[in-house]
Amino acid sequence: MNGWARSLCATFALACLFSAANAATVKLDGSKAVAVLGLDVSGQLYNVTFQTGTFDDVYQPELFPFLFPFGDLAGATEARDKLVALLNDSPALSVGDSNEAWIVYQQVAGSGGGVENRAVGPIYQSGEWQGSDFAGSPGDPSINYALFSAVPIPAAAYLFASALGLLSVVRRRSAADRLHGCNQVFRHIP
């Protein structure tokens, strides 16, 4: 491996190390968590914000990745548990304007013919953040929702992966050319 390839590999290793160490962070306004940046849920990174209102007011399909049919209870529970751990490691006493945040994973027929949201999420009670299950009317204006915005993989990562692939193809081709040249030399020896 020549010098530039070694330095390329070293740079890649440092970038991987840095990205692995780059954990999710809680963005605070005093003791209120206003966002969680870089939350990893099943390999997908999300930025999480909190908004209070009716479900119809805050609903956008891309902000509710765990809502059936787009997601499931397991993903919502993983997100809740990671939020609980992060919030307990921070000085946050609320998320947005509430002491709880709903991560909706299902809508079902409720009593009286209406719709009911099923959700999990963090709740601050007894001096700590805990995981909880929620169920309630989507028309309730006092519910605080956790909204998940997927963080796209930077274009630089795709470009770097393409360069590595090209480098391996070039390296294989040059190795094959060297072998082909050796075969030509040995063929002409009497």
Look at residue 185 in the predicted model and tell me its pLDDT.
53
Note whether 133 and 160 are same-domain residues.
Answer: no
104: pLDDT strictly greater than 90: yes
* Residue-averaged pLDDT of the chain: 83
Full-model pTM? 0.72
Has residue 14 been placed in a domain? no
First-residue to last-residue Cα distance in the chain = 34
Give residue 188's domain range: 154-190
Question: Of 54-63, 68-77, 105-114, 177-186, where does mean pLDDT reach its minimum?
Answer: 177-186
Rounded mean pLDDT, 151-176: 66
pLDDT digits (tens, 9 = 90+) for 138-149: 999 999 999 999
Q: Which residues of 65-80 are buried (b: 16+ CB within 10 A; e: fewer)?
A: bbbeeebebebbbbbb
Has residue 1 been placed in a domain? no
Has residue 95 been placed in a domain? yes
Note whether 106 and 189 are same-domain residues.
Answer: no
Note whether 81 and 160 are same-domain residues.
Answer: no
Has residue 76 been placed in a domain? yes
Has residue 84 been placed in a domain? yes
Note whether 116 and 32 are same-domain residues.
Answer: yes
Confidence of residue 178 (pLDDT cuts 50, 70, 90): low
Note whether 170 and 143 are same-domain residues.
Answer: no
pLDDT digits (tens, 9 = 90+) for 36-84: 999 999 999 999 999 999 999 999 999 999 998 766 899 999 999 999 9
Look at residue 124 in the predicted model and tell me its pLDDT.
97
Note whether 59 and 104 are same-domain residues.
Answer: yes
Look at residue 21 in the predicted model and tell me its pLDDT.
44
What is the rounded distance in angstroms from the CA atom of residue 79 to the CA atom of residue 45? Answer: 11
Which one is predicted more confidently, 172 or 186? 172
Amino acid at 170: V
- Give the count of domains, the chain: 2
Tell me if the bond preceding 69 is cis, omega within 30° of 0. Answer: yes
Note whether 143 and 59 are same-domain residues.
Answer: yes
Note whether 46 and 121 are same-domain residues.
Answer: yes
Note whether 80 and 125 are same-domain residues.
Answer: yes
